[in-house]
A and B are shown apart, each in its own frame.
Chain A
Amino acid sequence: SNVLTQPPSMSVAPGKTASITCGGDKIEFNPVHWYQQKSGQAPVMVMYYNNDRPRGIPERFSGSKSGTTATLTISRVEGGDEADYYCQIWDEDTAHVLFGGGTKLTVL
């Protein structure tokens, strides 16, 4: 069973805002990182330590965390944002890297 829960899919119209959630008890005490994976490509980090954006990631991408839920928000969604998105934490208790199940974002 996956201890990080993401919605399997979501759809959003261009120009609108997409909010992708990641829930789990372990989120409350651990920083959350996010990855974008486009079809046939390797994952790319789009957010780290909850709300830090790597160099080259547009400001339209932002992250937040409250309690046991982390959220990746993509503002002014573009067609190029269509991808799978994964959240991830380091679980100190088990010494395991944990990934969420992924959310497939479709741009209508």
Chain B
Amino acid sequence: VQLVETGGGLVQPGGSLRLSCAASDLTVNNNFMAWVRQAPGRGLDWVSLIYTGGTTYYADSVKGRFTITRDDSKNVLHLQMHDLRVDDTAVYYCASFITNSPDGLDYWGQGTLVTVST
């Protein structure tokens, strides 16, 4: 299984960015999937998850600003981020849950860095 995140970069406060996570040997719509971020020098911070059935959940800090979606035809997971803030600066990882329940995360990508700065 391979998860490859793309789409990170430098963006100004208030800006938008869309992250993508391309999956190999794993079908995104057959797995519960998540985005987890890690600010520089800090711990892991869950961002969002999506069930196989399409139900989504968000951390309080991003609710209303971020949206998790899937492109089943391309087997890709997305994270659309709006109204970005300086404290959204982090490496963003996509990951898959070990079973079809939001428990442990068994596969992780290498992450993509999002920097929000003027």
Give the interface of A toward B (CB within 8 A): 31, 33, 35, 37, 42-45, 48-49, 54, 84, 86, 88, 90, 95-102
Task: Report whether B106 and A42 are in contact in the complex, using a CB–CB cutoff of 8 Å.
Answer: no
Interface size on B, residues (CB 8 A): 21
Name B44's contact: one of A31, A48, A99 (CB within 8 Å): A99
Give the interface of B toward A (CB within 8 A): 34, 36, 43-46, 49, 57, 59, 93, 98, 101-106, 108-111
Task: Report whether B105 and A96 are in contact in the complex, using a CB–CB cutoff of 8 Å.
Answer: no
* Main SS class of interface, B: strand
Give the Cβ gap from B55 to chain A, nearest Cβ, in Å. 9
Query: Chain B residues near A88 (CB, 8 Å)?
Result: 44, 104-105
Which 8 pairs show the lowest CB-CB distances between chains A and B? A33-B104, A97-B46, A48-B104, A102-B43, A42-B108, A99-B44, A90-B102, A95-B57
Give the Cβ gap from A8 to chain B, nearest Cβ, in Å. 10
